[in-house]
């Protein structure tokens, strides 16, 4: 019996050691990848597939005079550019573009500044491992799989450049292995050859520029004076159920620019996946219970009643629709 126990023990250790080693290796790779996004200069063209649509974009990144600069250019469809200089993001779009609806100021939350912020946080809910080498944009890559341990979130397969640790390709996959989003560099120039001029917008005639900034998290939220909502919105909302590992990272009240009505928003993250819950008073004209999906991003709208008042609850996030439904039906008012 002793021998058997010892054998079992040894077998367990023999199994665990490589697992831990792999996890540490992958953790290091992901950290390097995060750093590579900001440390390297690069100019590349990538494809992005989501929601049945394929887009082609160019990205240029370079640090100039100590400031991180980035330029993202939509190469197909309506001209769109997103330019980031440090903390300021500017969007150049044509009149009529959906992106006009972007908010000028977004509250800063504790979200990751990178692909994965706290690796130890995701280790309980995702399994990580490498699965050989591959190629993307003509470069050799190490392939990494981040697989959820349950079906309440999606997994990733990522290709990390062996030489620079840059992300060359990533796939967002559901539990059946179906690819919901694919990001892949087709061509990539890395290093000092990246020109400063490549960061300058092309100045499409008739384009509109809007500047977006992060609002400091400690800045108190100021409600606009005019609101046509009858009832003040209760600010404390919660959910009765959340998938394992998800925690609220931010909540705030905002006004919808279009209608002036109040919307309470809650953000949740498991360290990798994220979703937002928006709660607003039920519009007088009613609303549809509906589900939309755009690639991995799902939106589910549901109605709840709290103390005789009706509210419209919409969950938006990169999680499976079944999970979104399960969460959205448990939204309730705290202490209510």
Partner 1 sequence: MTEQLRESLSAAMDNEADAFELRRVLDEAKQDSDLREQWYRFALVRDVMREDMQHYQPGLREAIWQTLNETEDADADVSQPLRDVSIDPQKNQRSPWIGRLTGTAVAAVVAVLVMVNGGVFDSEIEPTADYAGVQPALSGSGELAPVMYQQATAIDQQRQQALMLHHIQQRAMNQASLASFVKVATFRSTPPLVPAETSNGQSSPQK
Near partner 1 in 264-323, by CB under 8 A: 265, 267, 274-276, 278, 282-294, 297, 299, 301-303, 305, 310, 314, 316-317, 321
Q: What angle do CA 286, 287, 291 make, to 5 degrees?
A: 165
Residue with tokens 């520029």: 209
Q: Which is nearer to partner 1, 1 or 305 (CB)?
A: 305
Q: Which is nearer to partner 1, 22 or 287 (CB)?
A: 287
Residues 56-95 that bind partner 1 (CB under 8 A): 57, 59, 61, 70, 72, 74, 77, 80, 82, 84, 87, 89, 91, 95
Give the x-and-dash track for 113-152 against partner 1 (CB under 8 A).
Answer: xxx-------------------------------------
Member of 39, 50, 121, 186 binding partner 1 (CB under 8 A): 50
Do 266 and 254 form a contact (C-beta atoms < 8 A)?
no
Give the x-and-dash track for 16-35 against partner 1 (CB under 8 A).
Answer: ------------------x-
- 269 contacts: CB under 8 Å, gap ≥ 6: 111, 112, 246, 247, 249
- What does the CA dihedral 231, 237, 243, 248 come to, rounded to 10 degrees? 120
Distance of closest approach, residue 182 Cβ to partner 1, in angstroms: 11
Q: Residue 36: what are its φ and ψ, rounded to 5°?
A: -60, -35
Cα distances from 17 to residues 14, 23, 55, 281, in angstroms, run 6, 10, 42, 53
Q: Which region, judged by CB under 8 A, interacts with partner 1, from 50-58, 136-144, 146-154, 231-239?
A: 50-58
How far is the C-alpha of 294 from the C-alpha of 315, rounded, in Å?
13
Distance of closest approach, residue 274 Cβ to partner 1, in angstroms: 6
Distance of closest approach, residue 80 Cβ to partner 1, in angstroms: 6
Regarding 208 and contact with partner 1 (CB under 8 A), the answer is no
Instruction: Report long-range pairs for 52-55 (Cβ below 8 Å, ≥24 apart).
Output: 52/295, 53/295
Do 242 and 152 form a contact (C-beta atoms < 8 A)?
no
Member of 63, 103, 150, 163 binding partner 1 (CB under 8 A): 103
């Amino acid at each position: 019996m002793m021998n058997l126990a010892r054998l079992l023990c040894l077998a367990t250790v023999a199994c665990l050691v490589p697992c831990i080693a792999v996890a540490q290796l992958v953790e290091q790779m992901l950290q390097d990848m995060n750093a590579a996004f900001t440390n390297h200069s690069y100019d590349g063209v990538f494809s992005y597939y989501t929601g049945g649509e394929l887009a082609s974009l160019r990205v240029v990144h370079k640090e100039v005079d100590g400031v991180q600069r980035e330029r993202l250019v939509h190469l197909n469809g309506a001209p769109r550019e997103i330019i980031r200089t440090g903390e300021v993001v500017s969007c150049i779009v044509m009149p009529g573009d959906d992106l006009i609806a972007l908010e000028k100021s977004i509250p800063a939350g504790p979200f990751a500044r990178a692909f994965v912020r706290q690796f130890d946080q995701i280790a309980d809910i995702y399994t990580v491992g490498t699965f050989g080498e591959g190629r993307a944009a003509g470069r050799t890559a190490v392939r990494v799989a981040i697989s959820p341990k349950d079906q309440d979130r999606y997994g990733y397969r990522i290709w990390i450049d062996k030489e620079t640790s840059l992300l060359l390709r990533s796939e967002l996959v559901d539990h059946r292995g179906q690819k919901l989003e694919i990001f892949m560099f087709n061509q990539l120039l890395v290093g000092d050859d990246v020109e400063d001029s490549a960061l300058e917008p092309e100045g499409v005639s008739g384009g509109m520029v809007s500047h977006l900034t992060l609002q400091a998290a400690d800045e108190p939220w100021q409600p606009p004076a005019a609101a046509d909502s009858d009832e003040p919105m209760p600010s404390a909302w919660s959910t009765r159920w959340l998938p394992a590992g998800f925690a609220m990272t931010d909540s705030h009240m905002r006004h919808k620019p279009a209608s002036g009505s109040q919307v309470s928003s809650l953000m949740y993250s498991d360290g990798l996946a994220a979703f937002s819950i928006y709660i607003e008073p039920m519009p007088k004209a009613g609303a549809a219970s509906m589900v939309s999906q755009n690639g991995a991003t799902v939106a589910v709208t549901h109605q709840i009643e709290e103390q005789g008042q009706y509210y419209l609850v919409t969950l938006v996030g990169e999680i499976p629709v079944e999970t979104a439904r399960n969460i959205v039906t448990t939204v309730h008012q705290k202490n209510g």
